[in-house]
Amino acid sequence: MFFFRKLSRTRIWQFWGGLDVLYLLWYVTSSVRLGKTPFWNDLTVATEVLKDHGTAAVVMVMINWGLQLSIVVSAFLFLFQRKEAKWLGLAQIPLRLVFVVPSFSVLLIGAYLFPNYNPLMLLGMIVLSEIIKGWSLCAIRNNPR
Amino acid sequence: MKRLVCHLDVGGYSLTQIESPFFALYEVKRALADPEGLTGLRDLFEACGLSVGQNYTEQDRCKVLEKVESGDWLMVSDDPFSPLSADTFGKYSNLSGRTFSLGSYTLRQLSASDLPLVQGEVLTLERVATDSQKVDGPGKWVLKKIDYDGVRNSLVVFANRLTSFGEEGRMFLGEGKDFMNTSRTLIQEWVPLTEEERHFSHQSSVHRYGELRHISQRFIEGADSWPVSGSSWHWQPVTADVVYEYKKEW
């Protein structure tokens, strides 16, 4: 109970905002290290690949891109404590589960460092982290009790 | 006024004036008792090698009726009960040009530009002769449609994501391997050869025009001479959009 008393909305939002920033930094630095232009290279390659995969795939990719862009927005909203962050964060949860983009972005780095991970265990951890995120955004009040 | 006409001689009549062979058969059956009562029936008898007034055997009767049922001989009328122009389901597609397919449980209707004849259009001698011969013939397979197995592919993509989760520096769904093992079905239709391709007709297989064939493909990595790596992700088996099928040598 002591742990929950120490939680505040400000800290929780900084935590999720920080993880969003970590996700973006991980992607951008890795991409640059591989000699690519972040976002742009992926967009051009995806456009080529999608020609052959039908409308459903195009829709999936567009939603995935929408999610990626929304992570940029949510990072700012969480860090600047804007009230819209809560709703955007909650709206992202189903998409994060579908496209396997965990809010707890440390999992991405973990999977990179331990490539022989168990996919089902990973899925379980992602689901759990999203449940925790949803709960923390809804249940944690502004002022610590 | 009703009249029986050989299908080669219906030039100048509109589809709206031609009775469906089904109902024409009924009329001809009735007229057999009095052949003079139906214009053209005498010609039909002659076409069957019979003469009016002789005693007909059951076999002769069948021969005459078969000509009507098959559409070799058509009944034209000012007010047909069921004109060929109303042949919605393409039962007489070789005469009306309409197609209705229940192959693979799919309902299909040709687009307006594909219809050899449209409602009310004058059925010319040339067109009837050509269309009635178009049931089977040499041709080529042309890509008609691609069916992606949407739900299954979504699950496959999800599984791919779980296994490639640790890959750094790239956006998911941006590379061929993200679509590994997805599947699709190519639907190709047998269509006549064009004028420029006619020289190939004697070597071509023969199928019913409008016949569909389904080819299942899987998206996997395979040999490819173009990329430096020597391989690429593509749909296999590789199938061209237009396929010429050679006659099988027995």
pLDDT of res. A5: 60
pLDDT exceeds cutoff 80 at A82: yes
Minimum distance, in Å, between the CA of residue B162 and any CA atom of chain A: 6
Question: Of B39, B112, B51, B43, which is closest to residue B77 (Cα–Cα)?
Answer: B39
Cβ distance A36 to B170 less than 8 Å, yes or no, reads yes
- Predicted pLDDT at B111: 39
A21 has a pLDDT exceeding 90? yes
CB contact (8 A) between residue A54 and residue B184: yes
Distance CA B111, CA A31 (A): 48
User: How many angstroms from the chain centroid is the CA of residue A116?
Assistant: 22
Instruction: Kindly list the residues from chain A whose CB atom is less than 8 angstroms away from the CB atom of residue B154.
Output: 56, 60
Q: Across the interface, do B171 and A111 touch by the CB < 8 Å criterion?
A: no
Amino acid at A84: E
Question: What was the pLDDT predicted at A55?
Answer: 84
Statement: the pTM of the whole predicted model exceeds 0.90:
no
- Residue A67: band (very low, low, confident or very high) from pLDDT cuts 50, 70, 90: very high
Strand residue runs (E) in chain B: 3-6, 13-14, 73-76, 122-123, 136-148, 183-192, 206-208, 212-223, 231-236, 242-243
CB proximity A97 to B under 8 Å: no
pLDDT digits (tens, 9 = 90+) for A87-101: 999 999 999 999 999
Taking the C-alpha atoms of residue A138 and residue A128, their distance in angstroms, rounded to an integer, is 16
Task: Verify whether the Cβ–Cβ distance A100 to B182 is below 8 Å.
Answer: no
Q: Do B168 and A57 touch (CB under 8 A)?
A: no
- The HSE-up count of residue B45 (CA atoms within 13 Å, CB side) is 21
Cβ pair B234:A39 closer than 8 A: no
**B169 lies within 8 A of chain A by CB:** yes
> Between the CA of residue B29 and those of A28, B61, B79, B212, what are the distances in Å?
83, 9, 19, 37
Mean pLDDT to the nearest integer, A39-47: 87
Tell me which residues of chain B, numbers 209 to 238, contact chain A at a CB-CB cutoff of 8 Å: 219, 233-235
Burial group, residue B168, by CB count within 10 angstroms (0-12, 13-18, 19+): middle
* Local mean pLDDT, 10-residue blocks, chain B (250 residues): 80 77 84 80 83 75 84 85 71 59 37 45 49 72 89 89 83 85 92 85 88 92 80 88 81
> A142 vs chain B: nearest CA distance in angstroms?
35
Which residue in the set A46, A65, A100 is minimally distant from B161, CB to CB? A100
Is the Cβ of A46 closer than 8 Å to some Cβ of chain B?
A: yes
User: So what's the pLDDT on residue B100?
Assistant: 46
